Amino acid sequence: MNITIENVILIGSILLLISILAGKTSYRFGVPILILFLSVGMLAGSEGIGGIHFDDPQLAQFIGIVSLNFILFSGGLDTSWKSIKPVLWQGISLSTLGVLFTSLAVGTFVWALTDFTIYEGLLLGAIVSSTDAAAVFSILRSKNLALKRNLRPVLELESGSNDPMAYFLTIAFLGLVVNQDQSLLSIIPLFLQQILIGLALGFLFGKLSKMIINKISLDFEGLYPVLAIALMFIIFSATDALGGNGFLAVYLSGVYLGNQDLIHKKTIMRFYDGVAWLMQIVLFLTLGLLVYPSHVIEVLGIGMLISGFLILVARPLGVLLSLSFFRMKMRRRWYVSWVGLRGAVPIVFATYPLLAGVEKAEMIFNVVFFVSLSSVLVQGTTLTTVAKWLHVALPGKVKPKSPVDTFLSDGAKSLIREITIPSDNFSVGKRIVDLHFPRKAIIAMISRNGKFLTPNGATRIEEEDTLIVLMEDERSVEAVYDSLQLDMETEVDEE
């Protein structure tokens, strides 16, 4: 079946529906949900029962880049600075040195084992060197696995931030394969350029995005997520045009915005959470359609050797070397190495050699596909079991948040205060987002002129408003009064 304008919407919606229904029951059988999405795409493909002919690596790459923008930006928005701050340097080391050591190990192994040149081997190693944010986020969060001593923030920080390094290495080694006269040292200036510009623009664009979101006055709340999409793509494309790493800039901007006071922040984050899932499904469906299962079977032998070496040797080596500067128990290092899930990102990166016309591009793509598939199947299905073996799992599981938990934000708000705003208070006329309320407190309602209203970040405080504030502890109470520049003792006496 050929995809046409007339049937693409019907086919796409049916595939989405099948993927969601398959994913709903996947964990009953211990199968990672992303494998289900990939399988649906393969079954619908040219060699499957669907018979859909799709052989367009350029379109697949475009879909992959768009999807990765959403996935990385959403992952950044969900990243709490408070949780990653203690493990920041561990995550950075894993996402840079860990990726580099893994790619070098795999590349050398492929060069020694096959007829690949050293640069072709390093290219394949670079493509499979990073852990996949979509795979790690979805599997860890779906399994609600409770881990000891900051392991979860380390894993999520690494998976969310190591794609830029893998992307750089892929582009750099691809350039060496295409231009054989260049030396390995020629990639160092490119690395410094991409990382430094990506870091700088990620932070600057994050600050600019916060200013735009908070200062612009849109008539409809639903337009704020649309504004965030426009800003996200501007960040990526502008950074890329200026020679920086666009993926790094997008992720950093997401982290920055996720830890700032934004108007309609909950609306934006809920939107991105849903769209990130949609992008994961679309990405895996597309890559499933692109692959020819018969071609993957042809590289089964070499694929198993490379996959086994990556899981059992290269990834542990990269983790142990990159974490050698930090104090961490050995069993925790082993678990970090086991959660080296490969997913859609390596398959997307494997389209670059195809489009560049590299001689062994098709073999690289099929090997990478097999490696990603086997990684999610073997490692993704055993995360809980290995965590128990290595004694890094906490008893029980983390319960998923209920709607009430989500509304109450970071923790249970056990304290309630009614705070009346005097006419001479500095907050009169200001928006809630500009008050810099503590994160452990929320204004649940405002009593104004005998009526109750539900506020948002754009709501302006008026004189004689009574704020119904929910707080987590006494320290939060003090912080709230400080934010409003009110004397807590005077307020209590008046009550």
Which residue bears the tokens 């004189």? Answer: 463
Helix (H) or strand (E) holding 145: strand 145-147
- DSSP secondary structure, 339-382, as one string: T----HHHHHHTHHHHHHT-TTHHHHHHHHHHHHHHHHHHTTTS
Looking at the fold, whether 170 and 245 belong to one and the same domain comes out as yes
Looking at the fold, whether 288 and 232 belong to one and the same domain comes out as yes
Helix (H, G, I), strand (E, B) or coil at 469: strand
Closest CA to 106 of 336, 343, 310: 310
Q: What share of the chain is helix, strand, coil (3-state, %, to 5)?
A: 65, 5, 25
Looking at the fold, whether 162 and 217 belong to one and the same domain comes out as yes
Closest CA to 106 of 248, 262, 314, 343: 314
Interatomic CA distance for residues 117 and 111, integer angstroms: 6
Q: How many CA atoms lie within 13 A of 321 on its CB side?
A: 16
Low-confidence ranges of the chain (pLDDT < 50): 29-30, 397-412, 492-493, 495
Closest CA to 470 of 406, 407, 414, 401: 414
From 379, 397, 415, give the residue that closes a domain: 397
Interatomic CA distance for residues 207 and 256, integer angstroms: 8
Looking at the fold, whether 254 and 312 belong to one and the same domain comes out as yes
From 359, 381, 397, give the residue that closes a domain: 397
Looking at the fold, whether 383 and 410 belong to one and the same domain comes out as no
- The answer to the question of residue 227 being in a domain is yes
Could you give the dihedral angle defined by the CA atoms of residues 387, 388, 393 and 399, in that order, rounded to the nearest 10 degrees?
100
* Residue range of the domain that includes 488: 403-494
Looking at the fold, whether 277 and 341 belong to one and the same domain comes out as yes
Looking at the fold, whether 381 and 270 belong to one and the same domain comes out as yes
Residue 324's identity, in one-letter code, is: S
Closest CA to 143 of 343, 393, 310: 393
Q: What is the pTM of this model?
A: 0.78
Interatomic CA distance for residues 16 and 453, integer angstroms: 39
- The answer to the question of residue 3 being in a domain is no
- The answer to the question of residue 123 being in a domain is yes
Interatomic CA distance for residues 349 and 74, integer angstroms: 20
Interatomic CA distance for residues 428 and 425, integer angstroms: 6
| Tokens describing residue 80 | 């709490």
The answer for residues whose C-beta is within 8 angstroms of residue 23's C-beta and 6 or more apart is 33, 36, 37
Looking at the fold, whether 289 and 332 belong to one and the same domain comes out as yes
From 349, 374, 397, give the residue that closes a domain: 397
CATH number of the domain encompassing residue 451: 3.30.70.1450
Interatomic CA distance for residues 29 and 32, integer angstroms: 9
- The answer to the question of residue 51 being in a domain is yes
Q: Give the model's pLDDT for residue 399.
A: 46
**What is the number of domains present in the chain?**
2
Helix (H) or strand (E) holding 467: strand 466-471
Neighbours of 474 (CB within 10 A): 9
